[in-house]
Structure 1
């Protein structure tokens, strides 16, 4: 799963990464938590003929999707993540998967591993630096009083081997070459973009052990990402394949074949 993430890039860097033309100023955020506003990018109105600009819009949404059919959001679990393997089948996420796919810019995310009966947090950052885009789902919820709120969730997938020893799930990372396909909800159905929701290549992220400062949402400074010394067992090595036994020979001579 993904319970905390970060966005430290400047608005100009995010706009360039996601091909946005208009993005309001915002500060670096080191500890984005559920129910807080997050930046999501969705398909906008088609551009006029001859335009080279993609039709994308950015908006702030509440992290924690509320389905349109919900009568009492307080009775629902906090839906910050959606399993990519089943999102298009569940009534909670099915409509958003078909009509409201989005991109979530991020500089990394946090995950926790149990070490000596304590939860050790790790900052998962892109090994080569820069930004990544998580696959997201959006839903606009209208309460009984008529007010509306835009909400969203992060899609998750199986963790890559270098992360699985910390947690078995991770956010779906959309490669830049797939941005347009993922956002195209007019002509592409969930089955047409299923290949995008696969685990990324191993070693995309590096895991940095950090202090438990990240556990508190009130800690929002860069100090929460400082590396700490901790002994963590390495990922288990894949099992060695045993050599097939040599078939019995009619004599004691070795065979070249």
Structure 2
């Protein structure tokens, strides 16, 4: 599953994030710069875990700060919630009522048993969108937040030996449907078909400088 992901402010190719206008791209760069372009910490109980996601708006998509993982009774859920399997959404499409797109330039997984960290992406400097489902929850300060869970699917063959799951990447042509179409079994089926068009571009690079990632993740 997606252990962590990053947003590098130096991205140069934003064609795979269809909803992003100039203001949204600047907002993403500003957020990434404020966080030193570092990977995100997903479930630390004492962290202010707010990250930019693209949400449907009244007239156009909007950027919102959201919490990675679900909040229950003012605290991170006790069950795993930073990721949701695509198979579960096919079985229970009711979870598709709320949806978002998570901007990223790469995600990180550990290859076992080697315990080697790898970064996955679509190429250097490429900004892309990962499918997510959302729900509302109260943070530890009692404020209502949008919470999101990244949708994961089986990995394509060229990276499956490193990790068996990858995020559901949305090509630009399908991102509008993901945000605005009715939530249904057909939607997740169509999203999986659309995502396959990006399979050949998914590549992984071993990160020798990420030996401290184990301590970062809670």
**Superposition TM-score, scaled by structure 2 size:** 0.77
Question: 1:143 offset after TM fit, Å?
Answer: 7.2
Partner of 1:81: 83
Partner of 2:20: 19
Q: CA separation in 2, counterparts of 1:94 and 1:84?
A: 13
Partner of 2:183: 189
The structure-2 alpha-carbon separation of the partners of 1:159 and 1:109, relative to structure 1 and needing over 3 Å to count, comes to same
Partner of 2:104: 106
Partner of 1:64: 69
**Superposition TM-score, scaled by structure 1 size:** 0.67
Q: Which protein has the bigger strand share?
A: 2
| Other structure's SS at 1:131 match | strand
For structure 2, the residue ranges without an aligned partner over 5 or more in a row are 44-48
Native 8 Å contact 1:156 1:170 kept in 2: yes
| Other structure's SS at 1:33 match | coil
The structure-2 alpha-carbon separation of the partners of 1:41 and 1:209, relative to structure 1 and needing over 3 Å to count, comes to same
Output one character per residue of 1:174-217: Cα deviation in whole Å (capped at 9) or x when no partner: 000001111114xx232332211345343312211112133343
Q: Which protein has the bigger helix share?
A: 2
Higher-Rg member (1/2): 1
Question: 1:114 offset after TM fit, Å?
Answer: 1.8
Native 8 Å contact 2:7 2:103 kept in 1: yes
Equivalenced residues, count = 199
The structure-2 alpha-carbon separation of the partners of 1:10 and 1:85, relative to structure 1 and needing over 3 Å to count, comes to same
For structure 1, the residue ranges without an aligned partner over 5 or more in a row are 47-54, 219-257
Which structure ranks higher in relative contact order (CA pairs < 8 Å, sequence separation ≥ 6)? 2
Native 8 Å contact 2:16 2:128 kept in 1: no
